[in-house]
Copies of this chain bind each other. A is one copy, B any other.
Amino acid sequence: MLIVIRNSASNEERARLLALLDQIIVSERPIATIRIGEREVIALESSLLDAQACTTIRHADAVERLLPIQTAYKLVSRAFKATQSTIVAGDALGGQPVVIGGAHPVIIAGPCAVESREQLLTTVRAAKAAGAQLLRGGAFTPRASPYQFQRLGFEGLHLLAEAREEAGLPVVAEVMEPELVEAVSHYADVLEIGSGNMHNVPLLRTVGQNSYLRPVLLTRGLAATIDEWLLAAEFIVAAGNPNVILCERGIRSFDPETRNLLDLSCVPLLHARTHLPVLVDPSHATRRRELVPALSRAALAAGAQGLLLAVHPDPNRAVFDGHLSITPAQLHWIARDSRLITAVLQEPETVLQTLERMEDEQLRTGHRVYDGSARLESDR
Spell out A's residues near B (CB within 8 Å): 27-29, 43-45, 72-74, 78, 82-84, 86, 101-104, 142, 144-150, 152, 176-179, 196-202, 221-223, 225-226, 228, 231, 234-235, 238-239, 251-258, 261-265, 267-272, 275, 277-278, 285-286, 290-291, 294-295, 297-303, 305, 336-337, 339-348, 350-352, 354-355, 358, 367-376, 379
Residue ID in chain B nearest A270 by CB atoms = B372
Contact in complex: B102, A303 (CB < 8 Å): no
Q: Name 19 extra pairs, CB < 8 A, besides A72-B144, A84-B372, A340-B344.
A: A28-B152, A43-B147, A73-B145, A101-B369, A145-B234, A146-B235, A146-B238, A146-B239, A176-B201, A177-B202, A221-B223, A223-B254, A226-B255, A253-B263, A261-B261, A261-B263, A268-B291, A294-B301, A298-B301
Residue of B28, B272, B341, B352 touching A373 (CB-CB under 8 A): B272
Q: Determine if A222 and B223 form an interchain contact, defined as CB atoms under 8 angstroms apart.
A: yes
Do residues A177 and B176 form an inter-chain contact, with CB atoms below 8 A?
no
In the assembled complex, the CB of A295 is this many whole angstroms from the nearest CB of chain B, namely 6
A257 touches B226 (CB 8 A): yes
- Asked whether, in the complex, the Cβ of A343 is within 8 Å of the Cβ of B351, the reply is yes
- The number of times this chain is found in the oligomer is 4
Q: Tell me which residues across on chain B come within 8 A of A142, comparing CB atoms.
A: 199, 201
- Which residues of B lie under 8 Å from residue A238 when comparing CB positions? 146-147
| Chain B residues with CB under 8 A of A177 | 178, 202
